Amino acid sequence: MAKLRYWLWLSLKRGMTAGKIHELLNYFETPEAIYRADKSSIEAALSRRIGDRPVFRRADIAALSDKELKKAEAVYNACRDKQIKILTQEHELYPKLLLKLPDPPYVLYAKYAERINLNEHLTLAVVGTRKASRYGLSNAEKLSAILAEQGITVVSGMALGIDGAAHRGAIRGGGKTVAVLAGGVDRPSPPSHAGLMREIIKNGMVLSEYPPGTPSLPQHFPIRNRIISGLSHGSIVVEAPEVSGALITARRALDEGKDVFAIPADITSASSVGSNQLLADGAFPVLGPRDIIQHYEGLYGHVMEKNRPASSGQVEAWTPEIPEKREIKKSKDKKTAQKNAVFPKAVARKAPEGLTKEEDAVYALLSEVPVHIDQLTTSGLAPATLSAALTTLEMKGLVQALPGKQFCLSR
């Protein structure tokens, strides 16, 4: 518990994001040094950011001045009782690919039946829409089964639709699969996937940066997606609408200089607009598992061979499903439909007084549900105006910037 208690104490502080921890470690170097620092030392360290782009608030100083360890000890005991492993960046099983992120998680919670070191695996994310068609579900499961059979570890988010199909396929292929959750690894999300989660634990790992008992909240999902892309060598989008968490994962992968693949889908279906657009933008097309295997076997062939299951060769050949025919329904109000698709529904909050016209316009676009900056640009505001308004709203404490260029209203 020695070093671990300080990592838990720091990471469990309310509002203590990976970005803030990074700034603190740049100054204090270790979590124990942060814990032992008195209030004046903490104020001196945090004040360095005033005048630049503020990262910390008064509440952060108060939180870091509180040296109570009961919460850290409670989480440690819960993990021990539930057989949950705690992985800090110093742990040998911590996925080293995550260290390349600008905001890597400093503490991860993992649940697995057999020890699995992802640093010795070729990992690929297979992601897509929750409201998947038969075409998408079938192709996600078949593709994942063949990839797993070839020694590739499938990473996804255990959600309904494509994610669940990807995990099931990897398990059927006899290989390994990793589910990254937006809540505690002791809480299946959705609850209907409790059985699937047990199978994933037997055949790989369930991973999260949230401590046990944490519910899967809407604002956690965009943050979770950076881990899916971060610990994967590449991402495969099977089927995704124009606005989708899968596209956030793909964008993150592109930002990290990683490969992005997409399966061509029905051009008349709204559920595949996003994945088809990825192909138009230059993603690698997947016409069969060989397209992916050939892409990686030159560099990672020895890794794939090492992790190829004994049951290799038992999965049937790739036979893509034919896309379903769907009736295209025209929206009565195209502008309203587009806005609802881009900006998540949430309870509106009245803007405070004293805002400029631009700040007021940006505030009206936001809610407590995180939104990517790319989505905000569809509002018609000039990028420079949008960026300036977001910065001033954040400095006023009205808006919170999250990892992955996500923004939401402060609570």
pLDDT at 411 over 50: yes
Helix 2-11 and helix 70-81: axis angle, to 10°?
Answer: 110
Judge whether 228 and 125 are in contact, CB under 8 Å.
Answer: yes
Segment among 126-140, 215-229, 264-278 with least mean pLDDT = 264-278
Instruction: Give residue 341's pLDDT.
Output: 36
Torsion sign across C-alpha atoms 348, 352, 357, 362? negative
Q: How many C-beta atoms surround the C-beta of residue 337 within 10 A? A: 12
pLDDT at 307 over 80: yes
pLDDT at 290 over 50: yes
Long-range contacts of 312-319 (CB under 8 A, 24+ apart): 312/149, 312/150, 312/151, 312/174, 313/149, 314/149, 314/174, 315/142, 315/145, 315/146, 315/149, 315/172, 315/173, 316/142, 318/142, 318/143, 318/146, 318/288, 318/289, 319/142
pLDDT at 320 over 70: no
- Max avg pLDDT among 124-138, 198-212, 284-298: 198-212
Going from the C-alpha of 126 to that of each of 167, 249, 344, the distances in angstroms are 9, 10, 24
Residue-averaged pLDDT of the chain: 84
Instruction: Give residue 316's pLDDT.
Output: 52
pLDDT at 193 over 50: yes
How far, in Å, CA of 307 to CA of 116, rounded?
11
Helix 245-255 and helix 220-230: axis angle, to 10°?
Answer: 50
Going from the C-alpha of 232 to that of each of 34, 131, 349, 378, the distances in angstroms are 32, 23, 37, 29
Q: What is the pLDDT of residues 101-140, one digit of tens each?
A: 888 999 999 999 999 999 999 999 999 999 888 889 999 9
Phi and psi at residue 211, to the nearest 5° = -70, 160
Instruction: Give residue 53's pLDDT.
Output: 56
Going from the C-alpha of 375 to that of each of 111, 148, 384, 410, the distances in angstroms are 34, 34, 15, 19
Which of residues 103 and 234 earns the better pLDDT score?
234
Judge whether 22 and 103 are in contact, CB under 8 Å.
Answer: yes
Instruction: Give residue 26's pLDDT.
Output: 85
pLDDT at 342 over 50: no
